[in-house]
Structure 1
Amino acid sequence: MMPPGEIGNRLLAALPQVDLDLLAPELEPVALHQDAVISREGDQVDCVLFPHSGAISLMIGMADGHTVATAVVGREGALGTLSVFGPSASALTAIVRAAGTASRIPAPRFHAAFNRSPAIRYMIQCHVRAMQVQLQRSGACNALHQVQARMARWLLHIHDRIDDDVLPLTQEALSQILGVRRTTVTLLMRNLRARGAIRSEQRGRIEIDRSRLTAAACECHGTMRLEVEEIFSINMPDLARWRVSAVESGDAI
């Protein structure tokens, strides 16, 4: 049994104990090492990953070698959940941007629990909705907003998930996330330092001032955060009630 109070992942923590117990025996703790590639675009999805800490960026690559981030996943989400809809290759590359820990479960085991539990299915629906918000907003932001504001937004996304004002990001990583040249990142960092949004920068360590960084970002960070929080705060507490309804209808385990 995995006590909910010991769970760092928001999706797992929201499950009623009886549904969590379907997953717990198969969940394996793993370390998320800085800059590790969790999966590559085109890889077959063979496991589902539930981060407890750290931050993972989801990257899409172009034919000319350029990349850009489309979303960030941390303790509020999961990776590989869409595999429940059938065998498929990953559409994105997942890279650890801030080290942490996670629970991993083989995809077939997760699929079996998903099929047995209405609460797990509902949990994944909430997660997919939250990811759609990120993907849609990021697409619009990348197309319409200046790169300076976009960089501030991505720094805030990482900060939301690590509880530390020092972000473990290199300029090379930011170049990949933003889809711009390293020289552009250098200029953007200089501008943010001049505004006080970045207090200091050493190789691989960026200390931020959150309030000033928020002022430098576009509205997309705040909008995304509110929309995602609304999904979780309104829908996730309903999991226990969902289980009651499922029992009454005969659909529960």
Structure 2
Amino acid sequence: MTFPQVSISGGTRNRLLATLSPADLDLLKPDLETVALEQDAVLARAGDEIDYVFFPHSGAILLMIDMADGQTVATGVVGCEGAVGSLSVLGASPSGITAVVRAAGTASRIPAPRFHAAFGRSPGIRQAIQKHVRSMLIQFQLGAACNALHPVEARMARWLLQLRDRVDSDVLPLTQHALSQILGVRRTTVTLLMGNLRKRGAIRSDQRGRIEIDQARLLAAACECHRVMRIEAEEIFSGDKVRTRGMAPANDPRIPEIEADDAV
């Protein structure tokens, strides 16, 4: 797929790239290009080789698992805090996931072989990717536990909040069909859940492929996994201990703003 190139002033808005020293960034700059990410664009497809590594500046990219029977489920989301395709440094192998742009934005991309070369030369780049990998592992591990243990309504609220963190808007570009693919449930289940959340005031509107949310009320409907993911990720990237054992309160000022069964 060809992505239209755009110009971004004021430096990078990608957190991983922003952590790099000027010398490390210089290893990537000759091969980096800034591209527009259009909604529903596929950045990587399961079974295909990784051609590019993407560093989003804005927008949200879902990591999807495609099952043999055609069903899908989301396992993670990446925004300006991370990268897509960076795990290809672990070795040449087909992508295990399909990466789909859920909310349009922009990204810097680099051909995967060029990124692998820079990764091999720079301890700073390796350290940045290690942080990203640790952050994604938290998403995958907590997501697996959440899918097994928490009601689907709480999981839907969690996903809406994860997307809201990346988009930084209370209006999300989502259809009920997209939500059914994210959650791995039937469309009828999503319709029922949306009605429940609307009654609670957590969702104000869901028309024309856009869902408007009330963040505070949605937080009350979500399980603790969204908050834990954010705290754990901030600890990894900042190096500071944001919490001790146990849960921090939902309005903890130390947490920065960033970013299955069908039964209900």
Pairwise CA distance, 1:140 = 0.6
- Structure 1 unaligned regions, length at least 5: 236-253
Structure whose residues are more often helix by fraction: 1
Pairwise CA distance, 1:122 = 0.5
8 Å CA contact 2:44–2:85 kept in 1: the answer is no
Structure 2-normalised TM-score?
A: 0.86
Partner of 2:120 in structure 1? 115
Per-residue CA distance 1:72-118 (angstroms, 9 max, x = gap): 00000001111112211100011111000001100111111111111
CA distance in 2, matches of 1:58, 1:82: 13
Structure 1-normalised TM-score?
A: 0.90
CA distance in 1, matches of 2:220, 2:235: 23
Runs (4 or more) in structure 1 with deviation over 6 Å come to none
Per-residue CA distance 1:164-198 (angstroms, 9 max, x = gap): 11000011100000000111111111110000000
For 1:59, give the aligned amino acid.
M
CA distance in 2, matches of 1:21, 1:4: 17
CA distance in 2, matches of 1:43, 1:150: 29
CA distance in 2, matches of 1:200, 1:125: 39
More contact order relative to length (CA 8 Å, sep ≥ 6): 1
- Structure 2 unaligned regions, length at least 5: 1-7, 241-264
Partner of 1:58 in structure 2? 63
Partner of 1:167 in structure 2? 172
Q: What is the aligned counterpart of 1:15 among 20, 24, 35?
A: 20
Look up the SS of the partner of 2:239 in the other structure. helix
For 2:136, give the aligned amino acid.
M
Partner of 2:98 in structure 1? 93
Pairwise CA distance, 1:36 = 1.4
Aligned pairs, how many?
233
Q: What is the aligned counterpart of 2:143 among 134, 138, 144?
A: 138
Q: What is the aligned counterpart of 2:88 among 76, 83, 108?
A: 83
Look up the SS of the partner of 1:6 in the other structure. coil
CA distance in 2, matches of 1:6, 1:12: 10
Q: What is the aligned counterpart of 1:68 among 65, 73, 86?
A: 73
For 2:137, give the aligned amino acid.
Q
CA distance in 2, matches of 1:70, 1:172: 17
C-alpha RMSD over aligned residues: 1.4
CA distance in 1, matches of 2:18, 2:141: 26
CA distance in 1, matches of 2:99, 2:142: 19
For 2:63, give the aligned amino acid.
L
